[in-house]
């Protein structure tokens, strides 16, 4: 996520006043229940933007979602944030508006975490408990659930970034419970987080659930898990060889033997440098937290490799 630093916000604008109010609400020390939080946030929205955007004859909720969709396409983040605030003025349960605002806060956890949390609350209110009771296991396949899932993913990542690993793991596991197909790739940060904690047994649970995943990310995590359990064992070396075949760039970046020549990208192909950039940023702390594994990785990638017959790509379930 990239976005303006907190000190770049003009807090004398409607958006700035809303963000200030949300932060005061979350960090002011008041012990409020969910409904009272939502009521106070809704009051902040109206205070920041007394005049709601016009809807014509259309339903307010539909116009709100259109405003957020346009914000994603806008390109101008500040104008997009203003559109997201307008969406909330029309529909306080527009979870995607909170997701947009949360992502615009970049890695500023203090700002982003409350916004994503409000997105989760809004998404839950919009869906209702019955949807969770009846459709758990099929989320994301149902388009109406996606704003909630995006907000929950944001909460998980912000907790991880803040060092609240246990809370982050709970949220990543909830993403997988609601959507075992894992369209959002929650298994990768969850597996990485578990190996940061040297919980190879916990990682094995994730690995077994996605044993058909032939991605480079899972291959490098499997290699690290094997090393944490066994050291430089034949199985660990075999897994590292599989990982290297899946994406040699990723091993080079993790080992510090090469630097990316491109910026992070939204989309990438398997085995590409762009894929390596994405996953190296995610799992570097897990490898660095196992110094012996880092030395092993550097030795392995610095040594010449014999040519091997390439296998076909493995499918991802």
Work out the burial of residue 272: count CB atoms within 10 Å of its CB; fewer than 13 is exposed, 13-18 middle, 19 or more buried.
middle
Residue 256 · residue 287 · CB < 8 Å? no
What is the C-alpha separation between 142 and 164, in angstroms, rounded?
30
CA 208 to chain centre: 22
Calculate mean pLDDT across residues 127-146: 97
pLDDT band at 314 (very low <50, low <70, confident <90, very high): very low
Calculate mean pLDDT across residues 212-233: 97
Indicate the DSSP class of residue 57. Answer: T
Share of the chain above pLDDT 90, in %: 82
Per-residue confidence (pLDDT) for residue 139, from 0 to 100: 98
Per-residue confidence (pLDDT) for residue 266, from 0 to 100: 76
Tokens at 148, concatenated:
């909630």
Per-residue confidence (pLDDT) for residue 289, from 0 to 100: 94
Tokens at 19, concatenated:
């963000």
Choose the weakest-confidence range: 89-98, 167-176, 305-314. Answer: 305-314
Interaxial angle between packed helices 234-246 and 216-230, expressed in degrees from 0 to 180 and rounded to the nearest 10: 160
Q: To 5 degrees, how large is the angle CA 202–CA 206–CA 207? A: 105
Calculate mean pLDDT across residues 18-27: 94
Per-residue confidence (pLDDT) for residue 9, from 0 to 100: 54
Per-residue confidence (pLDDT) for residue 78, from 0 to 100: 87
Tens-place pLDDT, residues 249-262: 999 999 999 998 98
pLDDT above 80: residue 310: no
Per-residue confidence (pLDDT) for residue 306, from 0 to 100: 52
Residue 98 · residue 116 · CB < 8 Å? yes
What is the C-alpha separation between 188 and 172, in angstroms, rounded?
9
Per-residue confidence (pLDDT) for residue 76, from 0 to 100: 84
DSSP 115-138: HHHHHHHHHHHHH-HHHHHHHTT-
Tokens at 12, concatenated:
């004398």
The number of beta carbons lying within 10 Å of the beta carbon of residue 225 is 26
Average pLDDT, the chain: 91
pLDDT above 90: residue 181: yes
Tokens at 26, concatenated:
């979350």
Calculate mean pLDDT across residues 40-52: 95
The residue written with tokens 């040297």 in the block is 198
Per-residue confidence (pLDDT) for residue 2, from 0 to 100: 38
Report H helices in 49-128: 60-74, 77-90, 95-104, 109-127
What is the C-alpha separation between 156 and 177, in angstroms, rounded?
14
Residue 128 · residue 27 · CB < 8 Å? no
pLDDT above 50: residue 315: no
Calculate mean pLDDT across residues 117-143: 97
Per-residue confidence (pLDDT) for residue 4, from 0 to 100: 38
Tens-place pLDDT, residues 54-89: 998 899 999 999 999 999 887 788 899 999 999 999
Annotate 286-300 with b (16+ C-beta within 10 A) or e (fewer): bbeebeebbebbbeb
> Residue 114, CB half-sphere, CA atoms under 13 Å: how many?
16
Calculate mean pLDDT across residues 180-203: 96
Per-residue confidence (pLDDT) for residue 305, from 0 to 100: 57
What is the C-alpha separation between 153 and 159, in angstroms, rounded?
10
Residue 64 · residue 94 · CB < 8 Å? yes
Of the two residues 315 and 13, the one the predictor is more confident about is: 13
Tens-place pLDDT, residues 264-303: 877 889 999 999 999 999 999 999 999 999 999 999 998 7
Per-residue confidence (pLDDT) for residue 29, from 0 to 100: 78
Per-residue confidence (pLDDT) for residue 205, from 0 to 100: 96
Nearest alpha carbon to residue 287 among 218, 211, 192? 192
pLDDT above 60: residue 317: no
Tens-place pLDDT, residues 139-158: 999 999 999 999 999 999 99
């Amino acid at each position: 996520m990239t976005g303006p630093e907190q000190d770049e916000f003009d807090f004398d604008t409607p958006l700035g006043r809303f963000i200030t109010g949300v932060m005061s609400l979350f960090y002011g020390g008041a012990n409020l229940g969910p409904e009272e939080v939502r009521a106070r946030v809704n009051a902040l929205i109206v205070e920041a933007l007394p005049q709601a955007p016009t809807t014509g004859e259309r339903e307010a909720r539909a116009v709100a979602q259109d405003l957020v969709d346009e914000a994603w396409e806008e390109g101008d983040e500040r104008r997009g944030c203003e559109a997201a605030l307008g969406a909330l003025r029309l529909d306080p349960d527009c979870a995607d508006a909170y997701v947009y605002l949360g992502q615009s806060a970049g890695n500023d956890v203090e700002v982003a975490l409350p916004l994503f949390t409000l997105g989760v609350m809004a998404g839950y209110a919009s869906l209702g408990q019955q949807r969770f009771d009846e459709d758990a296991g099929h989320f994301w396949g149902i388009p109406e659930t996606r704003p909630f899932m995006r907000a929950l993913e944001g909460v998980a990542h912000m907790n991880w970034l803040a060092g609240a690993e246990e809370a982050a793991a709970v949220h990543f596991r909830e993403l997988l419970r609601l959507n075992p197909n894992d369209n959002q790739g929650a298994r990768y940060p969850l597996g990485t987080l578990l190996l940061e904690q040297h919980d190879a047994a916990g990682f094995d649970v994730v690995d077994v659930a996605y044993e058909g995943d032939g991605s480079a990310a899972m291959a490098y995590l499997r290699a690290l898990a094997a090393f944490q359990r066994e050291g430089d064992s034949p199985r660990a070396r075999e897994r590292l060889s599989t990982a290297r075949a899946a994406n040699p760039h990723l091993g080079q970046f993790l080992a510090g033997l090469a630097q990316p020549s491109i910026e992070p990208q939204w989309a990438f192909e398997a085995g590409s440098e762009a894929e390596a950039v994405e996953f190296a940023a995610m799992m570097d702390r897990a490898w660095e937290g196992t110094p012996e594994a880092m030395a092993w990785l550097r030795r392995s990638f610095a040594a010449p490799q014999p040519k091997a017959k390439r296998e076909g790509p493995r499918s991802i379930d």
